[in-house]
Amino acid sequence: MAYSLGIDAGGTYTDSILIRNSDGEVAGSNKAFTTYPDLLEGITRSIDGLDQEKLKLVTMVSVSTTLATNTILEKTGYPVGLVLVGNYEIPADSEIENCIMVQGGHDSHGDEITELDLSAVENFVLRLKGRVSAFAVSSYFSVRNPEHELRVKALIQELTGLPVVCGHELAQSLGAYERGVTAYLNAQLLPVAEVFLKTVVCEIKRRGLEPRIAMLRCDGSVVSMHEAMRKPIESVFSGPAASLLGASYLSGHDTCAVIDVGGTSTDVSLIHRGLPYLSETGAVVGGWQTKVRALRMETSAMGGDSHIWVQGTKINIGPRRVIPLCRAAVLYPSFMDTLRKRWIPDKLKLNEHIQATKFFIRTKKEPVNLTREEEELLAMIRDEPLSLKDIYWDKNILPARKVMDSLIQKRLVQAIGFTPTDALHVLGEYAEWNAEASVIGATLLANFIGTERQEFCLDLKRLFARNMAKDLISFLMEGVDRNEIEKMIEISFFSRFKVDIPVVLLGGPVRAYVDDLKKLIDAEIIVPEYSEVGNAVGALVGKGTKRVEITVRTTYSESRYDLRTKGVFVYTPAGRRHFVIREEALEFAEEFGRKLVLDYMAESGLSPDHVTVSMEKKDIMVHTGNIPLETRFIFEGVSNSDVYERAVSGYKMPFINFDEPEDEYEKQIRSGEEVS
């Protein structure tokens, strides 16, 4: 009898689940703490809790994670240098550091506009060498001709030997700046992905297993480990994708909304008739608009381990994840004595780090390339939790906030603080760790805002439920001003929002929020069995897929009196190719698109007999002439031989709906311009 193993690494827990291939029944599950910065211990403990005899019969392993999402949300990505080739309009509120814009780029036909300024690139790269972990490159209209991106990539690799991510490698849609952002975030995540995926592979091999290993992407499909390591940006929202698929499977509903409460974030998404609801414009995460094909979802930096801090009379949630006080009391024997000291900071100086319940501890990661201020602060932080008062007991000033932020971002320091999980311990609705630590923390924070401990925790719980409801309704009522939704939820009008589809909750103690949520929305709210490991289930539900886009564009004579074509260009992920006869170009596009899909599937160990390749085609016409200005092909290969296929029969990945009105892409094509 064969089994499949699903593994989901979240911000707080790493979950594992065994499912029998013959009938899709759950054969065992386990949770273990996610361990930082070395993930191996958490993964090992999670798998150790499963039936070891059944584990020997595993033929398929699929993983998902929120690590990439959390890295972006918490702004803890590795430092990256970004090279933008062409004339870009960078938003005034852009938070991209280490960025340069150089001359170069192509037009909509793939012809060079301006000669590439490699000397500027070289100066920029040499200045950053040793200070960044990777580089990202985006060139104007690189989807038409990636030559400049590839030349910059070759130069950077020659000068530094560091990884380089190109925009055209990740997305074939227009939007020059968004492709740059996508490449930038992908480069930030490369070390995170490499550590995670190599850890999984090594642990599976150590156990003597030889299954297929795959990873869930953010659109609900699965890819090979090699592809996942090369494009970690596509694992952004793989955790939510897993929760969506897992919630549908566990609840038995192929149409439902899902609220997944993790340690760092709360995610809302929708599955309709077995199909994930996808974003047409690309994933948005942490305020960044990307070109990654992903679930459309509402996500907020609010989870069970979000830092709860006070300022004035306001309770703040997040955005960073911390170790809950109740758990820290179990992990660190001396912590209760430290907590009982009850340092009371100046009420006027309170911020995210200056809190009576905030503590810091060194991780095991070795420091590299620190500033003098970072070295000095890190030297004062110990292996046992300390408050800022303890760290700076003999100094008159506290450290600059940006210095501590930097050490946390570099994973050299981990924070401890009061969390929603602590509030549930105080209220007696969750009893996993040391409730006394939670009680002390709640008392301290309640005193700062002038309320009682119990009322403080109830207010926090109600606030958490209100935010869940806001995220859900904002997601379902796309286009409606969120401020108006907040008014309806926060002010009692003797009415509630009604949701006509089931709402499935996933996560650890989500049952604690059901009653408060029902007071805010009228819906069937379901907490299914195994909801605490729903993401691990979802990791096994995705299908192996590969999506390739190819564009065939006709070039006309520039004379308004001569509408004959000058030639045809085929734009592929591998570059462009010129044809004289349009029919030959179309034939090549069809053959090459299918070949790219099958070649990729072959790398994942799938033969052509085990892959179904489908194709969508759309012509974009001009007002004069019968020849389309452009023809777009989308090829999608789907594995039809997964061992888990019987459990997810009928599940199909959606294609873009080409019957929709003209989108921004078509407008750009007609104008011959690219949004920068």
Locate all alpha helices (DSSP H) within 134-267, ordered by sequence: 147-160, 176-206, 225-230, 238-251
What is the spatial distance between Cα 572 and Cα 590, in angstroms, rounded to a whole number? Answer: 11
Across the strands, what pairs with 632?
551, 618
Q: Could you tell me the mean pLDDT of each successive run of 10 residues in the chain, 676 residues long?
A: 88 86 87 80 92 91 78 75 87 79 87 92 93 90 87 94 86 74 82 82 89 78 73 70 86 91 85 77 63 72 90 87 94 90 79 88 86 87 85 65 84 92 95 94 92 94 92 87 82 79 90 91 91 83 75 69 66 85 92 88 74 87 70 82 36 30 44 54
What is the spatial distance between Cα 566 and Cα 556, in angstroms, rounded to a whole number? Answer: 5
Contact between 204 and 214 (Cβ < 8 Å): no
Contact between 585 and 633 (Cβ < 8 Å): no
Q: What are phi and psi of 221, to 5 degrees?
A: -100, 170
What pLDDT is recorded for position 257?
A: 93
In 584-613, which positions are buried (b, 16+ CB within 10 angstroms) versus exposed (e)?
ebbebbbebbbebbbebbeebebeeebbeb
Across the strands, what pairs with 445?
none
Cα-based distances in Å from 350 to 313, 340, 500:
11, 19, 43
What is the spatial distance between Cα 469 and Cα 525, in angstroms, rounded to a whole number? Answer: 12
Cα-based distances in Å from 427 to 34, 124, 261, 326, 418:
25, 55, 19, 13, 14
Whose tokens are 């501890």? That residue is: 361
What pLDDT is recorded for position 648?
A: 32
Contact between 50 and 61 (Cβ < 8 Å): no
Contact between 7 and 46 (Cβ < 8 Å): yes
What pLDDT is recorded for position 174?
A: 63
Cα-based distances in Å from 41 to 14, 201, 505:
10, 14, 28
Q: Which residues contact 153 (CB under 8 A, 6 or more apart)?
A: 137, 164, 166
What pLDDT is recorded for position 664?
A: 45
E strand or H helix at 362, and its extent?
strand 359-362
Q: Is 547 helix (H, G, I), strand (E, B) or coil?
A: strand
What pLDDT is recorded for position 547?
A: 76
